[in-house]
């Protein structure tokens, strides 16, 4: 039997649009609706009565709280696309997904957006636990209200979350060090550039650095690893001056490790040192990082399939609400090494069709 996804492809619309037509919901033009009805009739489509029954019996709301994305910080666009894809697919099962965003430099924005999220009376929450102290406060509220929640992308212990969906950050940092070893000679130095502990995603970053350092120590390598803590990646002049000052003093630095998605920013700041520092390793296939990779300004990127992370966070929580099937405590995405030779055309959007 033909599926909603296949009908959507034939009609050149989203599965959510097909679902609205099947269930006579508003929001679709009459011309598009008529085209979809003709395809439904042509293929003798029958509504999944089990799914429809579940949807009519009880409806659920999943609220998602994740950081904003913009031109400079593009990473969070891709998990959001995965969340929106899952939203389309769980809609016919009676699950509504609402998304909320916050400024990842502002704990107040994080709390304010969470307060708006609570006003939707969700039965489940997907949360990117960006700020440690504030996350403890928010999760205590969810526990008191008996609302199950999933952590997306950032793993934090001691919060009683239903599961974590993301990458093993320690292993990804360990892999980055192994790649760096392949690039450098025995007495070369390394520079690690990371955010200060009060900034976002610190837990992921610290685990990547820990994995990186662990590999160097485990292999008894002689590389000296210099480290810079950055208060603000967006303060270009201050940041550039800080890096230039260090690189002029430490002339043995040949490789730079950036344990976040902003490797392209570092690539710009070291343009005057490219001959002396040929190797740069970073994370995530954003548009800016991809361009720098193709241009030879970044040596390796480590990808974590953020589209898949967004999709699986919503689909896993939906299955828990609908069928009371608890997910695994960790749903880990693969660790992929990306070079300019195997760079995919855009984010690889692989996911399993719900349910």
44 close to 51: Cβ distance less than 8 angstroms: no
Predicted pLDDT of residue 43: 83
91 DSSP assignment = G
**Domains along the chain with CATH numbers:** 1-47 (1.10.260.40), 50-167+306-333 (3.40.50.2300), 169-303 (3.40.50.2300)
User: Along the 355 residues of the chain, how does pLDDT read in single tens digits?
Assistant: 677 888 888 999 888 788 788 877 777 888 898 998 898 888 887 666 445 545 556 789 999 999 998 776 788 999 999 999 999 989 888 899 999 999 988 999 999 999 999 999 999 999 999 888 999 999 999 999 999 999 999 998 889 999 999 999 999 999 999 999 999 998 899 999 986 555 445 678 889 999 999 999 999 998 999 998 876 665 666 677 788 888 889 999 999 999 998 899 899 888 888 888 999 999 999 889 999 999 999 999 999 899 999 999 999 999 999 888 889 999 999 999 999 999 887 544 555 556 6
Say what the pLDDT of residue 80 is: 95
CA gap 144, 29 in Å, rounded? 43
Radius of gyration of the chain (CA): 23
- Give the strands of the sheet with 224-230, arranged side by side: 224-230, 189-195, 253-257, 279-283, 300-303, 336-338
DSSP secondary structure letter of residue 273: G
């Amino acid at each position: 039997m033909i599926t909603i996804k296949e009908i959507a492809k034939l009609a050149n619309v989203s599965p959510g649009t097909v679902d609205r037509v099947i269930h006579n919901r508003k929001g679709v033009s009459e011309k598009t609706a008529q085209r979809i009805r003709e395809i439904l009739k042509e293929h003798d489509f029958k509504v999944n009565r089990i799914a429809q029954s579940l949807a009519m019996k009880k409806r659920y709301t999943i609220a998602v709280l994740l950081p904003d994305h913009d031109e400079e910080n593009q990473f969070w666009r891709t998990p959001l696309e995965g969340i929106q894809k899952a939203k389309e697919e769980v809609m016919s099962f009676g699950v509504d997904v609402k998304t909320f965003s916050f400024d990842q430099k502002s704990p107040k924005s994080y709390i304010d957006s969470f307060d708006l999220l609570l006003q939707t009376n969700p039965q489940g929450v997907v949360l990117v636990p960006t700020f440690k102290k504030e996350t403890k406060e928010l999760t205590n509220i969810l526990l008191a209200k008996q609302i199950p929640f999933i952590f997306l992308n950032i793993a934090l212990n001691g919060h009683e979350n239903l599961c974590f969906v993301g990458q093993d950050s320690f292993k990804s940092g360990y892999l980055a060090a192994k790649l760096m070893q392949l690039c450098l000679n025995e007495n070369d130095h390394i520079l690690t550039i990371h955010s200060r502990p009060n900034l976002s995603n610190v837990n992921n970053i610290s685990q990547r650095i820990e994995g990186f350092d662990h590999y160097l120590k485990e292999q008894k390598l002689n590389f000296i690893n210099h480290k810079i803590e950055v208060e603000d990646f967006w303060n270009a002049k201050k940041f550039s001056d800080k890096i230039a000052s260090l690189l002029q003093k430490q002339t043995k630095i040949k490789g730079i490790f950036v344990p976040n998605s902003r490797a392209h920013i570092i690539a710009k700041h070291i343009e005057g040192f490219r001959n002396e520092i040929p190797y740069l390793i970073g994370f995530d296939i954003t548009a800016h990082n991809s361009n720098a990779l193709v241009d030879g300004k970044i040596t390796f990127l480590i990808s974590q399939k953020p589209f898949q992370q967004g999709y699986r966070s919503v689909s896993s929580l939906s299955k828990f609400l609908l069928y009371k099937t608890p997910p695994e405590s960790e749903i880990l995405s693969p660790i992929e090494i990306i070079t300019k030779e195997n760079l995919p055309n855009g984010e690889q959007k692989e996911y399993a069709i719900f349910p």
